[in-house]
Structure 1
Amino acid sequence: MSSKGSSTDGRTDLANGSLSSSPEEMSGAEEGRETSSGIEVEASDLSLSLTGDDGGPNRTSTESRGTDTESSGEDKDSDSMEDTGHYSINDENRVHDRSEEEEEEEEEEEEEQPRRRVQRKRANRDQDSSDDERALEDWVSSETSALPRPRWQALPALRERELGSSARFVYEACGARVFVQRFRLQHGLEGHTGCVNTLHFNQRGTWLASGSDDLKVVVWDWVRRQPVLDFESGHKSNVFQAKFLPNSGDSTLAMCARDGQVRVAELSATQCCKNTKRVAQHKGASHKLALEPDSPCTFLSAGEDAVVFTIDLRQDRPASKLVVTKEKEKKVGLYTIYVNPANTHQFAVGGRDQFVRIYDQRKIDENENNGVLKKFCPHHLVNSESKANITCLVYSHDGTELLASYNDEDIYLFNSSHSDGAQYVKRYKGHRNNATVKGVNFYGPKSEFVVSGSDCGHIFLWEKSSCQIIQFMEGDKGGVVNCLEPHPHLPVLATSGLDHDVKIWAPTAEASTELTGLKDVIKKNKRERDEDSLHHTDLFDSHMLWFLMHHLRQRRHHRRWREPGVGATDADSDESPSSSDTSDEEEGPDRVQCMPS
């Protein structure tokens, strides 16, 4: 009862602003509270020394308050001490010193933790970078490993030729690795004032046709390095393809362009162009034409409007719609088309999705599978989030294989006789196909090699069977090689790109060319591709970038060309830009760069 009463009195006095107990008792009680706060003070010793006995109301009150304090927590203790202000100065200094030391230690720990985190992150980043570099080195080494023994040997072949047992010496030599490895630039053909987007040899291999952003087509005697004739194509925008029709006596050229027109040029024996006429019109850019190997009158065209036209020059209305390419009722714009040389009823197309589609002209029924005979796609791209596009595809010499180049991906070889949905059989790596609609082709009379341009300005040649890079040449100072055209009979290759000339390559080097810098270029291409893949850059974004760059270059070129005294009249200066701008606006955003055919 006395304990309860004492504590009750204490609470009452606290409410009135005073205490019934003495200051010494109050100090003992406060020291007891400090003990509950973690301060190393013996509450019982203090209480005994202050009161002088073991019992009594004061002892009871102190014990009661000590018990109350322990049950009330640290916040109450601190409030109580602040109210009284009667705790020891020495203890206060010790508490203050200890708290300062603890604060300093905590501050040091807080400062140390970010440094440790940064060090750990730097170590992890260095480790990841080291791992990535090792993985990249391993990948490059695998792509540039030792080549297998060549199938064709020069000395044994020459010996057999002397004995009369090698009737196809030239044919086999043209497809020999030893000649491809000795490729060297022979000369350039200069005559265009814009990017050269298309190249095509005639059947005999004596003439080479080229088309350009300058809207002109030039027919070259490539051996003499002279133009046979050049003429205005009649197109309103970039010429993407110009091809000699087979068995026409080199008198007919078929052309297509960014303006969507398909035109035909009639060439005369007097080395001039009689006229050009439009035979078809796409609603988007038309990048490619597909010739039938023996037909001088019929060919196919494909456009970004997803339409494939069959064109027969013998008809009053030459063009008729063959098929509209769709995927689940959605149109698929087309960049490329090619006729199977072994079965001219079949043709393959590729464009703004990841599928190679093969059609048979005799069996097209758009109500059944959208008329598609079969589709091919690398299995890892079927459901990929990356927006894969096929920029170019070609059949091999005998139609058994189909080569497809993917935008910012690799080049894939399919067996054309495989069933629908079959996986690729070969894969060719190392180049970069992002900035433009890049071309790809076979090289050799038996399609022994694969050749492609690259955004790095180099030409890559792979051995088809081993997938190894066997030749690597700088093909364009402007930075991008787009078009590659093998000679039909000789070991000669014609290439073009953003530069305004055509380059002729032949195996005239005294020894196999050293693949100097190949590994560094492959690494750079791989890194850039991986970086771009993180941003999911698609072909349209790349087109826009290249369009802006090319437009600035063209503006500077036209400004210099139209300066006084250069030969352009004021009327020409006023008319040309307006017509060019109008056609650009009408064609939409997808015709964006110096695109090849």
Structure 2
Amino acid sequence: MPAEGTRMAGLWEREVGRLRPKRFANAFMASRDFVQSLGIQKRLREHRGCVNTVSFNSSGSLLLSGSDDMTLVLWDWEAGTPATSLHTGHENNVLHAQFMPSSNDRSIITAGADGEVRHMQMREGGPVVVDRFVELEYPVHRLAVEPGSPHTFYSCGGDGSVWHFDLRGKEATKLFSCPSINDKTTKIIELYAVAMDPRNPCYFALSGSDEYVRLYDRRKSFVNGGSLFGTPVEHFCPPHLIGQNKDGITGLAFSQAGEMLASYSYDNIYLFEREHGLHFNNFKVGEKLLMDETMGATLPQTFKGHQNMQTVKGVNFLGPNYDFVASGSDCGYVFIWRKKGGELIRVMKGDKRIVNCVEQHPSESIFASSGIDTSIKIWGAGGSEDPSVANFDEVDDPDPYLFSMSSDSDSSVYMDDYIFAPVSGSSDGEDEDDDSSGEDTTSSDEEDTEEMAEGDESEEEEDTEEMADGDEGGEEDGKAGDGEMDDD
């Protein structure tokens, strides 16, 4: 019998009937062996622009994606083919899209760079009916569906506003605008992320263009002193960033245990628990702390090595028990850390330029990633393409925005301009994601990771103008779908 606690021991127990297959699968997905065995199983090609959002339905049979080409694609990801392609009606990039729960995968919500939030209802044997809920002057970056509800969800965007939607009455209600903490005037911050606590749908979190994660309780009034400003029940921020007015937080994610991941621009990813709250520790929000004031505080877990400066990146948990943390990076790699201890376990090439999204399958050892490339990568154990040989095209002409950026540049100047640049050219619609050259890095050493990231970033800075022209040109000549659409 193999040594107890090893993978071979688990295989032996499964074979002799001592370990249920589901329990064995979960144990494997929570192991280092699982992460080390990951490879690209499939590449999904249909979009003609950057793929800004990917998400699975509740059963995991379908993958939903949205793109700069203003279309949605519902994928039969196992077959590697589109099940349905849909025109969204958005007049600019689709930034986020989600299935509504308990809707037989026929109810989809979308948010776009055109400032619109839309609801798409796919009627059996009939047209796709689209309702436009709001039309704002700034991009709507993110949506958050109330857990288990087929009717209600939230949005946040560039104008700092938070909206609540109810599909039953086709109602949209502005809850509040999010005020700056560091600026004592009535300045509003730009919001990049909203996330719901899966344990308690009464709580949702917001993050944006400052250093604070704000936690709200929807049961409490959103009116503060007669203004429209919401009042958080808690704030979260690493002590060394308090009062620094940094470049913001682009991604949020909750675990089933109520932990929160926050991906900071020009900084690291942090894991917050209840005891890391500023009010919990009697810290005054908005004032820089002295070293001796933080000595007794419990510090959040930190995940280092990736780069988050050029685009709005998400962050996520992986594993059946949220055992790992995953993120894309400006260097075009997918980073995976062990949640406990923050050890960097795997770094895998996932895009020619930038990976923005990493989303896990609801029940299988599968996840999807997307970014600046027009294709989506499906990752799994023993994938047919090892990341060490999963190569990507090289393009010739540099994008002046990326070429001029450095670690000292102000990401707030480039972030939205880079993602939401106006159409400036046309595209032949071909996917540029064919094989050429690339590397995989599996070292957990931070210095090695940083050298790899810098090397890849210098390559991507030499050749992105063709990418920008090709992706943005999808608005003019992209045939985006076969679904009919009625706009109510």
- Normalised by the length of structure 1, the TM-score is 0.61
Distance 1:432 1:359, change over 3 A: same
Distance 1:343 1:503, change over 3 A: same
Structure 2 residue aligned with 1:372: 232
- Counterpart check, 1:209 vs 2:64: yes
- Counterpart check, 1:539 vs 2:397: no
Following the alignment from structure 1 to structure 2, what is the Cα–Cα distance between the partners of residues 539 and 461?
Answer: 26
Distance 1:340 1:355, change over 3 A: same
**Aligned positions of 1:12-91 closer than 5 A:** none
Structure 2 residue aligned with 1:341: 198
Q: Deviations over 1:451-495 (max 9, x none)?
A: 111111111001111211111111001x10011111111111101
- Counterpart check, 1:447 vs 2:334: no
Following the alignment from structure 1 to structure 2, what is the Cα–Cα distance between the partners of residues 232 and 417?
Answer: 45
Distance 1:452 1:279, change over 3 A: same
Following the alignment from structure 1 to structure 2, what is the Cα–Cα distance between the partners of residues 321 and 458?
Answer: 37
Q: Which has the higher helix share?
A: 1
**Aligned positions of 1:484-499 closer than 5 A:** 484-499=358-373
8 Å contact from structure 2 (residues 161, 178) kept in 1:
yes
Following the alignment from structure 1 to structure 2, what is the Cα–Cα distance between the partners of residues 233 and 275?
Answer: 10
Following the alignment from structure 1 to structure 2, what is the Cα–Cα distance between the partners of residues 379 and 445?
Answer: 31
**Aligned positions of 1:233-248 closer than 5 A:** 233-248=88-103
Distance 1:367 1:414, change over 3 A: same
Structure with bigger gyration radius: 1
Distance 1:334 1:542, change over 3 A: closer
Letter of the 1:409 counterpart: D
8 Å contact from structure 2 (residues 349, 387) kept in 1:
no
Structure 1 residue aligned with 2:178: 325
Corresponding residue to 1:462 among 337, 343, 348:
337
8 Å contact from structure 2 (residues 211, 244) kept in 1:
no
Following the alignment from structure 2 to structure 1, what is the Cα–Cα distance between the partners of residues 419 and 304?
Answer: 23
Letter of the 2:129 counterpart: N
Q: Deviations over 1:47-85 (max 9, x none)?
A: xxxxxxxxxxxxxxxxxxxxxxxxxxxxxxxxxxxxxxx
Q: Deviations over 1:538-577 (max 9, x none)?
A: 32234435666x855xx1527999xxxxxxxxxxxxxx99
Offset at residue 354 of structure 1 (A) = 0.7
Q: Deviations over 1:341-390 (max 9, x none)?
A: 001000000011110000000113432684111111111111226x3211
8 Å contact from structure 2 (residues 40, 386) kept in 1:
no
Aligned length: 393
Letter of the 1:498 counterpart: I
8 Å contact from structure 2 (residues 109, 120) kept in 1:
yes
Following the alignment from structure 2 to structure 1, what is the Cα–Cα distance between the partners of residues 270 and 235?
Answer: 14
Structure 2 residue aligned with 1:425: 300
Q: Deviations over 1:411-467 (max 9, x none)?
A: 111004544355642111111111101111111121111111111111100111121
Corresponding residue to 1:396 among 234, 238, 255:
255
- Counterpart check, 1:262 vs 2:120: no
Letter of the 1:383 counterpart: G
Following the alignment from structure 1 to structure 2, what is the Cα–Cα distance between the partners of residues 515 and 465?
Answer: 30
Following the alignment from structure 2 to structure 1, what is the Cα–Cα distance between the partners of residues 415 and 109?
Answer: 28
8 Å contact from structure 2 (residues 55, 64) kept in 1:
yes
Structure 2 residue aligned with 1:118: none
Offset at residue 512 of structure 1 (A) = 9.9
8 Å contact from structure 1 (residues 435, 543) kept in 2:
no
Distance 1:335 1:545, change over 3 A: closer
The alignment partner of 1:246 has SS state of coil
Following the alignment from structure 2 to structure 1, what is the Cα–Cα distance between the partners of residues 147 and 429?
Answer: 44
Structure 1 residue aligned with 2:133: 279
Distance 1:451 1:511, change over 3 A: same
- Counterpart check, 1:407 vs 2:265: yes
Following the alignment from structure 2 to structure 1, what is the Cα–Cα distance between the partners of residues 138 and 387?
Answer: 43
Q: Which has the higher strand share?
A: 2
- Counterpart check, 1:309 vs 2:163: yes
Distance 1:559 1:415, change over 3 A: closer
Q: Deviations over 1:294-313 (max 9, x none)?
A: 11111111111111111111
Following the alignment from structure 2 to structure 1, what is the Cα–Cα distance between the partners of residues 309 and 254?
Answer: 22
8 Å contact from structure 1 (residues 265, 273) kept in 2:
no
Structure 1 residue aligned with 2:285: none
Corresponding residue to 1:505 among 368, 379, 383:
379
Following the alignment from structure 1 to structure 2, what is the Cα–Cα distance between the partners of residues 545 and 244?
Answer: 27
Offset at residue 320 of structure 1 (A) = 0.9
Offset at residue 200 of structure 1 (A) = 0.7
Letter of the 1:354 counterpart: E
Q: Deviations over 1:268-300 (max 9, x none)?
A: 345x75221112333311011101221111111
Following the alignment from structure 1 to structure 2, what is the Cα–Cα distance between the partners of residues 432 and 418?
Answer: 24
Letter of the 1:461 counterpart: I
RMSD over aligned Cα atoms: 3.0
Following the alignment from structure 2 to structure 1, what is the Cα–Cα distance between the partners of residues 420 and 5?
Answer: 45
Distance 1:557 1:193, change over 3 A: same
Offset at residue 513 of structure 1 (A) = 7.7
Q: Which moved more, 1:329-338 or 1:409-418?
A: 409-418
Structure 2 residue aligned with 1:3: none
8 Å contact from structure 2 (residues 334, 348) kept in 1:
yes
**Aligned positions of 1:118-129 closer than 5 A:** none
Letter of the 1:380 counterpart: H
Structure 2 residue aligned with 1:180: 35
Structure 2 residue aligned with 1:36: none
Following the alignment from structure 1 to structure 2, what is the Cα–Cα distance between the partners of residues 156 and 465?
Answer: 23
Q: Which moved more, 1:446-455 or 1:539-548?
A: 539-548
* Identity rate, percent: 37
8 Å contact from structure 1 (residues 403, 411) kept in 2:
yes
Following the alignment from structure 2 to structure 1, what is the Cα–Cα distance between the partners of residues 111 and 266?
Answer: 25
Following the alignment from structure 2 to structure 1, what is the Cα–Cα distance between the partners of residues 360 and 147?
Answer: 16
The alignment partner of 2:427 has SS state of helix
Offset at residue 408 of structure 1 (A) = 1.6
Corresponding residue to 2:209 among 345, 352, 359:
352
Corresponding residue to 1:363 among 216, 220, 228:
220
8 Å contact from structure 2 (residues 34, 381) kept in 1:
yes
Offset at residue 507 of structure 1 (A) = 0.9
Structure 2 residue aligned with 1:384: 244
8 Å contact from structure 1 (residues 290, 338) kept in 2:
yes
Offset at residue 515 of structure 1 (A) = 12
Structure 2 residue aligned with 1:225: 80
Distance 1:458 1:269, change over 3 A: same
Following the alignment from structure 1 to structure 2, what is the Cα–Cα distance between the partners of residues 240 and 378?
Answer: 28
Following the alignment from structure 2 to structure 1, what is the Cα–Cα distance between the partners of residues 370 and 132?
Answer: 26
Following the alignment from structure 2 to structure 1, what is the Cα–Cα distance between the partners of residues 151 and 92?
Answer: 25
Following the alignment from structure 2 to structure 1, what is the Cα–Cα distance between the partners of residues 242 and 386?
Answer: 40
Offset at residue 187 of structure 1 (A) = 1.5
Letter of the 2:147 counterpart: P
Structure 2 residue aligned with 1:145: none
Distance 1:326 1:209, change over 3 A: same
What are structure 1's unaligned runs of at least 5 residues? Answer: 1-150, 517-527, 562-575, 581-597
Letter of the 2:12 counterpart: R
